[in-house]
Amino acid sequence: MNDAAISAALADASAHRRPVALRAGDVFSGMHRRVIDADEIDLRSRRAIREYEPRDLTIAVECGITAAQLEQTLREHRQFLPLDAPNAPQASVGGVLAAAWSGPRRHRYGRPRDLLIGSEFALADGTLARAGGMVVKNVAGYDLSRLFVGSMGSLAILLRANFKALPLPESTRIFLAALPDGTRERAFSQVRNLRPEPAAAWWIAGYDREIDGDPGDDGRIAILLECDNALLERATLDWRAALGRAGIPETRLLDAGAYASFTRLLDAPMHLPGLNALSYRSVSLPSQALALADSIADVIDRFDMHRDLLVDIMNGDVTVRAVGDAASFTHVVGMLDDALHDRAPRARILAGGGEVHDRLDCFGLLPNAFAQMRALKERFDPHGILNPGIAFFDGLHT
């Protein structure tokens, strides 16, 4: 479907009050509710690069393009966009934006929304409009492009996204270390103070299939270094010395495999080993992440479930993947919400196996500006035809 066809389909749907459901990569579907009874608009064929002038470091793409395709195009010109999308060969750029996905490199390069400089979109009544442009600085009018980030396709359909690209780092290296007993706290603060700053850093307990090597008595850490060639060896020496001071005697380096390992770790929370599984993320502050991880582990362990934990050391996200009996998950999530309520109000389900997902409410606490969001929804989609039921601003939650 081209823009005109999407516009016509929406105008028709709007005139007949017929709901539409957007179909793209399906990677983030665990993060929202299922859309109820709607005609599908499939965006997966909309994968064109619309404008790319490498010398401007800007790129415009159709939103159905996958994160992997976009990355490939940019890589040919030694550029990149740190979208950090899980399951990149399938995840669409539109999905990354609509889900407000942000990954472990955000403290360094910003979130996908930070690099978004413009967009074209279709409104519920079929009107095609745009905001921003192809320049890296632009303060003409409201930033509607970013407003749609996190909208889960419930406010408008993003058709085209314009981004500011970044030069690809010359070197990528992953440092893996098993933590000896009792070193976790020190490792955390040492990693956060490393110079040069890590591009990403995780503390991992579990996920044994995603990374090789010794799991460590106190979990293990994986740290991503992205830098100029000229800096690589000196940074390696400095990092190893710093980790040594935190009681971590040995670090393994991954060079050739670094990127693949990084990708596996990005994918891990979204890859559920079966239907009776759940991934849950709480976004907090780096200083609280360890304590949160422990509280989460405590809750899950009470249900005798298998769990894998991933803590984003630089940003504070705690992600847990649990596998167990489907009936227990409602209790698990309820207890997690209670346990984390005050400390990490922004917790949410990332992925849940079929039945597990259906039983759970995938949103944590409502945002404070809920009323404003709902007013926007009512204005932009007065008949509620865009992805009905997908999001909390639909009124289902009140």
Partner 1 sequence: MLIERLIEALGAEAVKTSPEDLACYSFDAYSQGVLPSAVVLPSSAAQVSAVVKIARDLEEPLIARGSGTGLCGGAAPARAGVVLSFARMNRLLELDVENRRARVAPGLVNLQLSERIASTGFFYAPDPASQRASTIGGNIATNAGGPHCLAYGTTVNHVLALEIVDERGECFTTAVEDLGYDLTALLVGSEGTLGIVTSAWVRLLRIPPTTGVWLAAFPSIESASEAVSAIVGAGIVPTALEMMDATIVRAVESAYAAGYPADAAAVLLVESSGEPEEVASADSAIARIARAHGATKWQAATSTEQREALWRGRKGAAGAIGRIAPNYYTQDVCVPRTRLPEMLATVDEAAKQHGIVVGNVFHAGDGNLHPLLLYDKRDARQVAAVIEIGNIVLARAVELGGTISGEHGVGIEKRNGMSLVYRAEDLAAMANVREIFDPHALLNPEKIFPSGISCREMRT
Task: Build a one-symbol-per-residue string for 314-333: x at contacts with partner 1 by CB under 8 A, - elsewhere.
Answer: --x-----------------
367 forms part of the interface with partner 1 (CB under 8 A): yes
Q: How distant is the alpha carbon of residue 289 from its chain centre?
A: 17
Residue in 125, 247, 252, 359 binding partner 1, rule: CB under 8 A: 125
Decide: 275 and 329 in contact? Cβ < 8 Å. Answer: no
Pull the structure tokens for residue 365.
């606490």
DSSP at 136: S
Minimum separation from the CB atom of position 306 to partner 1 (A):
28
Task: Choose one: 136-144, 215-223, 300-308, 349-357; the region binding partner 1 (CB under 8 A).
Answer: 136-144
Residue 198, φ and ψ in degrees, nearest 5: -60, 150
Site string for partner 1, 141-180 (x = CB under 8 A): xxxx-xxxxxx---x----------xxx------------
Strand 39-42 and strand 20-23: pairing?
Answer: parallel
372 scored as a contact of partner 1 (CB under 8 A): yes
Residue 168 Cβ vs partner 1, minimum distance, rounded to whole Å: 7
Which of 146, 220 has the CB closer to partner 1? 146
The residue from 113, 307, 321, 357 that contacts partner 1 (CB under 8 A) is: 113
The Cα 193–Cα 241 span in angstroms is 13
275 vs 291 by CB, closer to partner 1: 291
Edge-first strand listing for the sheet containing 346-352: 252-254, 171-178, 220-227, 200-205, 306-312, 317-323, 277-283, 346-352
CB atoms under 10 Å from CB of 327, counted, come to 11
Burial 96-109 (b: 16+ CB within 10 A, else e): bbbbbbbbbbbbbb
Radius of gyration of the chain (CA): 21
Stretch that binds partner 1, among 133-141, 215-223, 266-274, 350-358 (CB under 8 A): 133-141
Residue closer to partner 1, measured from CB, 180 or 196: 196
Report in angstroms the alpha-carbon separations of 43 from 17, 73, 159, 179, 214: 21, 20, 8, 45, 43
Q: What does the alpha-carbon distance between residue 246 and residue 133 come to, in Å, rounded to a whole number? A: 47
| Contacts of partner 1 in 257-296 (CB under 8 A) | 283, 285-287
Least separation in angstroms between residue 331's CB and partner 1 is 23
For residues 64 and 286, which CB has a smaller minimum distance to partner 1 in the complex?
286
Candidates 63-71, 86-94, 104-112, 215-223; binding stretch for partner 1 (CB under 8 A): 104-112
User: Restricting to residues 180-239, which ones interact with partner 1 according to CB under 8 A?
Assistant: 195-197, 227-228, 230-231, 234-235
* Cβ neighbours of residue 370 closer than 8 Å, sequence gap 6 or more: 392, 393
Instruction: Give the shortest CB-303-to-partner 1 separation in angstroms.
Output: 26
Q: Which stretch binds partner 1 (CB under 8 A): 117-125, 205-213, 300-308, 321-329?
A: 117-125
Choose, by CB under 8 A, the member of 55, 181, 241, 342 that binds partner 1. Answer: 55
DSSP 33: P
Residue showing tokens 């976790």: 184
Residues 16-45 that bind partner 1 (CB under 8 A): none
Compute how many other C-beta atoms are within 10 angstroms of the C-beta atom of residue 233. Answer: 11
One residue of 133, 180, 244, 247 binding partner 1 per CB under 8 A: 133
Please, which residue, 68 or 376, has the CB nearer to partner 1?
A: 376
* Count of residues touching partner 1 (by CB under 8 A): 81
Task: Out of 129, 237, 327, 396, name the contact with partner 1 by CB under 8 A.
Answer: 129
